[in-house]
Amino acid sequence: MTNEEQTKLVQKESKRLWKSRGFKWIIIVTIILLAGIVFSHVRYQARLIICRINLEYGIGSSMNIYMSDYDDQLPLPGKWNDLLIEYYDVSESVFQCPGSQSEGKMSDYSINKHLYEVGLWKGDCVGLFESKPGWNQIGDVEIFTTCNHRNNGGCYNKSSFSGVQFVEQENVNGIKWKPEE
């Protein structure tokens, strides 16, 4: 068989393969699966970014302003969500993590209850964190959740050098919860 004949045979075989329904479907399904993986990754990253913005710039910044207006006092535990909405026009949507399934007037973030024991927010300690849904909720590691971002949960400490960090469930105990430690 000459080279020319071989080339023709390969071309013919390729055409036959392409014309066969099964081969077309394999390509179409592969493209759909790849697009799904890329889309899911983009969506995952977008949710992390929005959650980070909620924690640091939405709630964190308004809490900082509140505290500078009220002699460094934390927003009252029984009404902190309401206070931030009332005084600083914070949108309710800022209290919702895009990865959460919570519905209605819910906050997917809580204030670290240990801050209230010492009465201030020390920069190297968690101030805000991703929690089970609630409203005006304070708490600690017990309500911390990593369910919204594939085994990752966000926490915010106000010092600018660490900002928001996302930690995996297995590293939750490595977070500094108590200011006096």
Binding site for Zn ion (CB under 5 A): 51, 97, 99, 130, 148
CA distances from 148 to 49, 89, 93 (A): 13, 26, 16
Q: Is the Cβ of residue 149 or residue 158 nearer to Zn ion in the bound state? A: 149
Q: Is the Cβ of residue 133 or residue 179 nearer to Zn ion in the bound state? A: 133
Q: How far is the CB of 137 from Zn ion (least distance, A)?
A: 15
- From CA 133, how far away is CA 44, in angstroms rounded? 20
Residues 179, 118: contact at Cβ < 8 Å? Answer: yes
Q: How far is the CB of 167 from Zn ion (least distance, A)?
A: 12
The region, left, alpha or beta by phi > 0 then psi within -120 to 50, assigned to residue 151 is: left
Q: How far is the CB of 23 from Zn ion (least distance, A)?
A: 42
Q: Is the Cβ of residue 55 or residue 125 nearer to Zn ion in the bound state? A: 55
